[in-house]
Amino acid sequence: MRVLPRIGRRRPLTCRELVELVTDYLEGAMSPREARRFEAHIAACPYCTNYLEQMRITIRTLGRIEEETLAPRAREELLAAFRGWHSEEDGAPST
Amino acid sequence: MSSAPGKPPPSGDRDVVAALRRGDEAAFAALVDEYGASLLRVARLYVPTAAVAEEVVQETWLGVLRGIDRFEGRSSLKTWIFRILMNVAKTRGERERRSIPFSVAAGGEEGAAVDPDRFLPADDERAPGGWALGPTRWPTPEESLLSGETRRVVLDAIEKLPPSQRAVITLRDVEGCSSEEVRNVLDLSETNQRVLLHRARSRVRGAIERYLDAMETTT
Per-residue pLDDT tens over the stretch A41-57: 999 999 999 999 999 99
Domains in chain B with CATH codes: 13-95 (1.10.1740.10), 105-218 (1.10.10.10)
Which candidate from B23, B122, B197 shows the least CB-CB separation from A86? Answer: B23
* Count helices and strands in chain A by DSSP H and E runs: 5, 0
B119 contacts A75? CB cut-off 8 A: no
A81 contacts B61? CB cut-off 8 A: yes
Residue B81 sits at the vertex; the CA angle it makes with B78 and B84, to the nearest 5 degrees, is 150
B25 contacts A83? CB cut-off 8 A: yes
Comparing CA positions, the residue from B13, B131, B165, B201 lying closest to residue A14 is B131
Number of C-beta neighbours around residue B166 at 10 A: 22
Average pLDDT score over chain B: 84
**Interface membership of B38 toward A (CB under 8 Å):** yes
Q: Which CATH number fits domain A1-66: 1.25.40, 1.10.3470, 1.10.10, 3.40.50?
A: 1.10.10
pTM: 0.77
Nearest CA in chain A to B208: A58
In which band, very low, low, confident or very high, does the pLDDT at B174 lie, cut at 50, 70 and 90? Answer: confident
In which band, very low, low, confident or very high, does the pLDDT at B175 lie, cut at 50, 70 and 90? Answer: confident
Q: Which residues 114-143 of chain B have a CB within 8 Å of chain A?
A: 114, 116, 119, 122, 127-131, 134-138, 142
**Interface membership of B33 toward A (CB under 8 Å):** yes
Q: How many residues does chain A have?
A: 95
Answer yes or no: are the C-beta atoms of B38 and B92 closer than 8 Å: no
Distance CA A36, CA A38 (A): 5
Q: Which residues 141-160 of chain B have a CB within 8 Å of chain A?
A: 142, 145-146, 150-151, 154-155, 158
Contacts of A94 in chain B (CB under 8 A): 66, 69
Percentage helix, strand, coil for chain A under 3-state DSSP, each rounded to 5: 70, 0, 30
State what percent of residues in chain B have pLDDT above 70.
87
Which has more confidence, A10 or B191?
B191
Which has more confidence, B8 or B49?
B49
Which has more confidence, B39 or A95?
B39
In which band, very low, low, confident or very high, does the pLDDT at A79 lie, cut at 50, 70 and 90? Answer: confident
What pLDDT was estimated at residue A51?
A: 98
Contacts of B124 in chain A (CB under 8 A): none
Contacts of B134 in chain A (CB under 8 A): 15, 46-47, 50-51
Q: Where are the domains of chain A?
A: 1-66
Interface test with A, best of B2, B22, B28 (most A CBs within 10 A): B28
Comparing CA positions, the residue from B157, B4, B35 lying closest to residue A63 is B4
A81 contacts B1? CB cut-off 8 A: no
What pLDDT was estimated at residue A93?
A: 46
In angstroms, the separation between the Cα of residue B87 and the nearest Cα of chain A is 19
Which candidate from A59, A75, A81 shows the least CB-CB separation from B201? Answer: A59
Average pLDDT over residues B56-64: 93
In angstroms, the separation between the Cα of residue A1 and the nearest Cα of chain B is 33
Which candidate from A50, A69, A77 shows the least CB-CB separation from B137? Answer: A50
